[in-house]
Amino acid sequence: KEKRFMSVLSDWEIKELAEQQEMIAPFIDYSCKEKDGKRILSYGLGSYGYDIRLSPSQCLIFGGNQRGDCDPKNFDSENILKPAELLEDENGQYFILPPYGYCLGVAQEHLKLPRNVTVVAVGKSTYARSGILVNITPAEAGWEGYLTLEISNCTGLFNRIYADEGITQLIFHRGKPCATSYQDRKG
């Protein structure tokens, strides 16, 4: 009986897929921790993952409406109040996430997943210490595009979410090619 397994991709495997199959674009083959001489929240290749950036182009604040309900089967886009304003100071560009707020952002990197690779996201410790949780739904084998990032502020404080800097780490899982990919299902 053939063994079936799924493995987490290492740095050299991620780099190979990014360079040969355009799995991540743009692709940075190291952990970038500085930009224009200033310390930033790191992004790029890690030992067993890849830290992606929050795009400055879109961040939608969700909620703020104390009436009604949110039905995931019949989502009302009116519950998304407004685009967050992109602010800037000596520390960089950022959005403000209100206390106990929630926003939808978009990744700066484009993904093009092979038929045998699925991605999940885990938080960055810098944001976790600030009470920020970042989530994405799994990007399944064959998925292509810019990930939607779900970002929650679990504190009673206003929190900065930096654009064009690392926001979450992607973990790539490789298994046997699936029988039906995301593209096959026309997801």
Q: What is the pLDDT of residues 135-164, one digit of tens each?
A: 888 899 999 999 999 999 999 999 999 999
94, containing H or E segment: strand 92-97
Angstrom distances, CA of residue 142 to CA of 100, 128, 138, 180, 182: 34, 30, 12, 9, 5
Residue with tokens 């979450």: 168
Instruction: Provide mean pLDDT across the span 47-57.
Output: 97
Angstrom distances, CA of residue 143 to CA of 5, 10, 13, 39, 175: 21, 20, 18, 33, 15
pTM score, two decimals? 0.89
> In the predicted model, what is the mean pLDDT of the chain?
90
Which of 90, 140, 150, 165 is flagged as catalytic? Answer: 150
d(CA 131, CA 133): 7
Q: What does the block give as tokens for 90? A: 């000596």
150 classed as catalytic: yes
